[in-house]
Amino acid sequence: MCGLELSLDGGRVTRIRGDRDDVFSGGYLCPKGTTLGRLHDDPDRLRAPVHQPNARSAAAGAAQPVTWTEAWHLTEELLRTAIDTHGRDSVAIYLGNPNVHHLDGTLFAKPLIRGLGKPKVFSASTVDQRPKEVASGLMFGTTLSVAVPDIDRTDLVVLMGANPLESNGSLATAPDWPGRLAAVRDRGGRVVVIDPRRTKTARAADTHLAIRPGADALLLAAVVTELERTGRVDPGHAGEWTVGLDEAIASLAAFTPESVAVRSGVSPDEIRSLAAQLADAKSAVVYGRIGTTTQRFGTLASWLVDLVNLCTGNLDRAGGAMFTKAAAGAANTRGTPGVGRGVRIGRFASRVRGLGETMGELPVAALAEEIDTDGPGQIKVLITVAGNPLLSTPNSARLEAAMEHLELMISVDPYVNETTRHADIVLPPPSPIQRPHYDLAFTQLAVRNVANYSPPVMERDPDTPEEWEILARLAAFAQGLGPEADPADVDDLMITTLVGAAVADETGPVHGRDATDLLAELAPRTGPERMLDLMLRIGPYGDAFGAVTEPVPLGLDEEGRPISVPPLSLNELEAHPHGVDLGPLQPRLPEVLRTPSGRIEAAPPEIVADVRRLTALLDDGEDGSLVLVGRRDLRSNNSWMHNVEVLVKGKERCTLHIHPDDAAPLRLTNGELCVVSSRVGQLEVPVELTEDIAPGVVSLPHGWGHNQPGTRLAVANERAGVNSNLLTDEDDVEAITGTAVLSGIPVEVARA
Ligand SMILES: Nc1nc2c(c(=O)[nH]1)N[C@H]1C(S)=C(S)[C@@H](COP(=O)(O)OP(=O)(O)OC[C@H]3O[C@@H](n4cnc5c(=O)[nH]c(N)nc54)[C@H](O)[C@@H]3O)O[C@H]1N2
Ligand SMILES: Nc1nc2c(c(=O)[nH]1)N[C@H]1C(S)=C(S)[C@@H](COP(=O)(O)OP(=O)(O)OC[C@H]3O[C@@H](n4cnc5c(=O)[nH]c(N)nc54)[C@H](O)[C@@H]3O)O[C@H]1N2
Ligand SMILES: [Mo]
């Protein structure tokens, strides 16, 4: 989402800078953005498919490059045979994080899933944000109706379980968090960070509260109760559109600043002060991120974040938590404004453990058992797209062992890494600078309404497919259309279906128009760009294929003046390479809602039922053992940018952070190796003593643990680190969504 300015000389990137004219990022850039050229040039990045015969046997490692034509024939045959032999219900797909970083994955994962029949779908979302999506879905009606902090106008921001100064934020798209947080303080506002670690973000804040891992729901529940006790509950205009608020507040009566203090590690005075500050501030917002979602009370904590914002009158107001209105692809801009079908969960369950579905997916914590447990419906065929689950999901050792039960594995990925080394065939996408970009996912979570499109900067290598073509071909193969199947047919079918749906949609801007005319207007574009053009044109700022000719009103700017924008289409975005600014976030209630009641559901039954489990936590005395949390650092990106030298050089980063008070009785000194063990596994890692972590808590970053046999990652393998998910426990999942608990894992630490 940061605008980049690339300088090229011949076929090489010679410099990358932040685009100073970018309407959103204004020249800001993080170290990863500057390395796209190196990523492009990385000799280990696959330019051609590889075939790995016997990938999962002891004889693995014999990777052979093949031509694309060979790859299509091989893949088609392997997939067809496997489906014939084991049936469609033996097929699973794992969608990794970068699928939401480009149009191909965002738009063509669905046709691939359909083509496969009814595969078991897993994704990185159930080791990440699923609790927030479900809480938002149940409250507001669609899962990406995530209220984001209006950081540029707020007077008080409370960041929980988030370290945007290292991560650049998440579920709140805002280039330049350092600058934006500094601006809050410069204008007299305050920043509060709630994190067991004194992070870079915490050091830049006014207040840091070192909470015990997993206690966020307790703390927030006590804030609600305190607001109620002091007569400070006032939802403001959002109240008109809310049902169940009294019930929600009543369900939390047991949680008081006193009752939660011991378990949360935050004193009653600090909790009361936090509640008072939130109520007193002209505007305020609580923002919760991965520390609040990948934990035992993730959905409760995510719900409570919005409940506190609601109770203090900060939901849907400037400086509070607001809803982005994206230019394309947002479910909360489709259909009848203000009402919808809402979100249901648990419509089916996993075979072995009976974990419920969310958003059509099963929790990835159940992936290994679905592969290694015999019986009807056992997974025999696994397709991974842009994922590295062997480093990113809990109890990696079990998943690793499960691999040998697979009959076929196909990976779409640019690297032979810890996961894809097990694939029979790896199909690589083009590099990031060889593809167009529009961020369909993260524009929906942006702290300002923006739209920005960039064409490919470099041509693709001759005869290599775009990633959407790979996904479309896999879909066609799975449907039995043969090795010569044309991905363009899948694409044409998709766009015809989408246009058909648009003209049939009585609530949409092109209802009743001739589909053939619209398709002609979208020509000659194809693929994701054609779909994007459609989505923009029927979107909330769209030209509706010529039906809208006047500027589209955007509400009011920061000075209260009305603003507008020419109607959008992809042509319009192409004419504005630095992006189109659609103005500050605007109040969207009740139009944003898609709940059946047409109201904010403040007390969704699925969530309120889980409060009982939280009550039990009050009496859950701690046994004094250490608990493990994660961390991110600026020059990293989950597991996959460690092959770029400038991002990994320097001091070892994969270390166990431990407080000196905890290290002393264990006789651990800085830099020495220790053994960390949990219920499921153990590992050895260097110790780093630091007072920046709360006593009783230790921290390891994730995404390391390279140097596995058969991988092709020369740089990463030199600085392998250890895989923290050897310690996380696949049986430890959040109750409502099945999201893996990655934070607050009981561990033992000893000298190696
Ligand atoms: N212990 C612990 N575990 C965690 C986390 C944690 O905080 N602690 N965080 C979790 C989170 S938030 C996430 S999102 C997950 C991530 O989990 P995953 O998505 O499984 O892992 P990544 O490391 O992001 O791997 C991305 C893969 O995509 C490939 N790739 C990169 N670009 C492209 C592309 O354009 N196309 C294709 N096809 N492939 C591409 C890379 O080579 C890599 O193999 O990890 C989770 N795991
Ligand atoms: N540099 C870098 N940037 C990234 C990524 C990366 O790997 N590296 N990954 C990207 C991805 S996929 C994501 S999802 C985002 C995540 O973005 P963030 O959510 O900002 O991620 P983290 O930096 O892991 O911050 C989580 C914080 O939660 C704290 N924490 C752990 N347990 C608890 C708890 O129980 N309660 C509270 N209150 N805090 C807790 C941790 O100490 C940590 O500081 O980052 C994205 N950006
Ligand atoms: Mo993530």
Please work out whether the CB of residue 387 comes within 6 Å of at least one atom of ligand 1.
yes
Of 44, 127, 678, best ligand 1 pocket probe by most atoms within 8 Å of the beta carbon: 127
Q: List pLDDT tens digits, range 555-588.
A: 999 999 999 999 999 999 999 999 999 999 999 9
Q: Whose CA is nearest to atom 31 of ligand 2?
A: 291
Report the length, in residues, of the chain.
752
| Of residues 589, 443, 585, 600, the one with CA closest to residue 150 | 585
pLDDT > 80? residue 334? yes
d(CA 744, CA 321): 27
d(CA 309, CA 475): 43
Q: How far is CA 510 from CA 323, 336, 501, in A?
A: 25, 14, 10
d(CA 149, CA 180): 11
Q: What pLDDT does 637 receive?
A: 94
d(CA 417, CA 708): 8
Residues facing residue 746 across a β-bridge: 627
CA 293 to centroid of ligand 3, rounded, Å? 11
How, if at all, do strands 207-209 and 425-427 pair? unpaired
CA 161 to centroid of ligand 2, rounded, Å? 7
pLDDT > 60? residue 211? yes
| Of residues 153, 254, 148, 163, the one with CA closest to residue 201 | 163
Please work out whether the CB of residue 639 comes within 6 Å of at least one atom of ligand 2.
no
Q: List pLDDT tens digits, range 516-535.
A: 999 999 999 999 999 999 99
Q: How far is CA 459 from CA 3, 433, 470, in A?
A: 20, 9, 17
d(CA 308, CA 118): 39
Return the ligand number nearest the Cα of 636: 2
Return the ligand number nearest the Cα of 124: 1
Contacts 24+ apart (CB under 8 A), 646-649: 646/31, 646/35, 646/38, 647/31, 647/32, 647/35, 648/715, 648/716, 648/719
**Closest ligand 1 atom to the C-alpha of 414?**
42
The SS3 call for residue 278 is: helix
Determine the distance from the C-alpha atom of residue 121 to the mean position of all C-alpha atoms in its chain, rounded to a whole number.
Answer: 16
Please work out whether the CB of residue 638 comes within 6 Å of at least one atom of ligand 2.
yes
CA 237 to centroid of ligand 2, rounded, Å? 32
Q: Whose CA is nearest to atom 38 of ligand 2?
A: 161
CA 393 to centroid of ligand 1, rounded, Å? 10
Please work out whether the CB of residue 590 comes within 6 Å of at least one atom of ligand 1.
no
| Of residues 175, 177, 146, the one with CA closest to residue 159 | 177
Residue 30 has φ and ψ, to the nearest 5°, of -100, 165
Average pLDDT for 664-689: 97
CA 391 to centroid of ligand 1, rounded, Å? 8
Q: List pLDDT tens digits, range 481-506.
A: 999 999 999 999 999 999 999 999 99
Of 439, 468, 640, best ligand 1 pocket probe by most atoms within 8 Å of the beta carbon: 640
| Of residues 720, 726, 724, the one with CA closest to residue 648 | 720
* Token output for 141: 């009606």
**Closest ligand 1 atom to the C-alpha of 632?**
7
CA 682 to centroid of ligand 1, rounded, Å? 22
pTM of this structure: 0.98
Number of C-alpha atoms within 13 angstroms, CB side, residue 597?
14
* Token output for 418: 């810890």
Please work out whether the CB of residue 194 comes within 6 Å of at least one atom of ligand 2.
yes
Of 39, 44, 97, best ligand 1 pocket probe by most atoms within 8 Å of the beta carbon: 97
Q: Which amino acid is at 524?
A: P
Please work out whether the CB of residue 372 comes within 6 Å of at least one atom of ligand 2.
no
Residue 650 has φ and ψ, to the nearest 5°, of 95, -160
CA 409 to centroid of ligand 1, rounded, Å? 18
Average pLDDT for 604-627: 91
Q: List pLDDT tens digits, range 301-318.
A: 999 999 999 999 999 999
Of 639, 712, 743, 747, best ligand 1 pocket probe by most atoms within 8 Å of the beta carbon: 639
The SS3 call for residue 675 is: strand
CA 289 to centroid of ligand 2, rounded, Å? 7
CA 166 to centroid of ligand 2, rounded, Å? 8
End-to-end CA distance of the chain: 43
Average pLDDT for 218-243: 98
d(CA 742, CA 473): 35
Return the ligand number nearest the Cα of 194: 2
**Closest ligand 2 atom to the C-alpha of 215?**
35
CA dihedral 325→329→331→337, nearest 10 degrees, is 50
Please work out whether the CB of residue 251 comes within 6 Å of at least one atom of ligand 2.
no
Residue 698 has φ and ψ, to the nearest 5°, of -125, 160
Q: What pLDDT does 60 receive?
A: 57
Q: How far is CA 341 from CA 242, 499, 710, in A?
A: 17, 22, 48
**DSSP track, 684-696:** EEEEEE-TTB-TT
Residues facing residue 9 across a β-bridge: 12
Q: What pLDDT does 54 receive?
A: 79
CA 636 to centroid of ligand 1, rounded, Å? 11
Q: List pLDDT tens digits, range 449-473.
A: 999 999 999 999 889 999 999 999 9
Q: Sort 487 into a burial class: Cβ within 10 Å, 0-12 / 13-18 / 19+.
A: buried
Residue 58 binned pLDDT confidence (cut-offs 50, 70, 90): low
CB 161 within 8 A of CB 288: yes
Please work out whether the CB of residue 728 comes within 6 Å of at least one atom of ligand 1.
yes
Please work out whether the CB of residue 415 comes within 6 Å of at least one atom of ligand 1.
yes
CA 134 to centroid of ligand 2, rounded, Å? 19
CA 293 to centroid of ligand 2, rounded, Å? 10
Matching residue, tokens 């929980």 = 160
Q: Which amino acid is at 522?
A: L
d(CA 314, CA 306): 9
**Closest ligand 1 atom to the C-alpha of 432?**
35
Number of C-alpha atoms within 13 angstroms, CB side, residue 547?
17
Average pLDDT for 131-148: 98
d(CA 690, CA 700): 13
The SS3 call for residue 529 is: helix
Please work out whether the CB of residue 177 comes within 6 Å of at least one atom of ligand 1.
no
Q: Which helix (H) or strand (E) holds 273?
A: helix 268-280
Q: How many CB atoms lie within 10 A of CB 553?
A: 13
Share of the chain above pLDDT 90, in %: 96
Please work out whether the CB of residue 197 comes within 6 Å of at least one atom of ligand 2.
yes
CA 279 to centroid of ligand 1, rounded, Å? 39
Q: Which distant-in-sequence residues (6+ apart) come within 8 Å of 616 by Cβ?
A: none
Angle between helices 527-537 and 103-115 (to 10 degrees): 100
| Of residues 407, 390, 394, 398, the one with CA closest to residue 372 | 398
Q: Whose CA is nearest to atom 29 of ligand 1?
A: 386
Q: Whose CA is nearest to atom 14 of ligand 1?
A: 97
CA 162 to centroid of ligand 2, rounded, Å? 5
**DSSP track, 203-250:** HTSSEEE-PPTT-HHHHHHHHHHHHHHTT----GGGGGGEESHHHHHH
d(CA 136, CA 330): 14
CB 739 within 8 A of CB 429: no
Q: What pLDDT does 668 receive?
A: 97
* Torsion over CA: 464, 466, 468, 469 (sign): negative
**DSSP track, 420-462:** GGG-SEEEPPPPGGGS-B--TTGGGGBSEEEE--B--SSPPPT
**Mean pLDDT over all residues of the chain?**
97
Residue 747 binned pLDDT confidence (cut-offs 50, 70, 90): very high
Please work out whether the CB of residue 164 comes within 6 Å of at least one atom of ligand 2.
yes
d(CA 48, CA 428): 7
Please work out whether the CB of residue 123 comes within 6 Å of at least one atom of ligand 1.
no
Return the ligand number nearest the Cα of 162: 2
Q: List pLDDT tens digits, range 59-101.
A: 555 789 999 999 999 999 999 999 999 999 999 999 999 999 9
Return the ligand number nearest the Cα of 167: 2
d(CA 639, CA 648): 12
Q: ∠ at Cα 209 (203, 212), nearest 5°?
A: 120
Q: List pLDDT tens digits, range 348-390.
A: 999 999 999 999 999 999 999 999 999 999 999 999 999 999 9
CA 556 to centroid of ligand 3, rounded, Å? 33
Q: What pLDDT does 670 receive?
A: 96
Share of the chain above pLDDT 70, in %: 99
Determine the distance from the C-alpha atom of residue 110 to the mean position of all C-alpha atoms in its chain, rounded to a whole number.
Answer: 17
Q: What pLDDT does 63 receive?
A: 83
CA 288 to centroid of ligand 3, rounded, Å? 13
Phi-psi region of 57 (alpha: psi -120 to 50; beta: other; left: phi over 0): beta
**What 8-state DSSP symbol labels residue 361?**
B
Please work out whether the CB of residue 413 comes within 6 Å of at least one atom of ligand 1.
yes
Q: List pLDDT tens digits, range 384-420.
A: 999 999 999 999 999 999 999 999 999 999 999 999 9
Return the ligand number nearest the Cα of 726: 1
Number of C-alpha atoms within 13 angstroms, CB side, residue 723?
26
Q: How many CB atoms lie within 10 A of CB 720?
A: 16
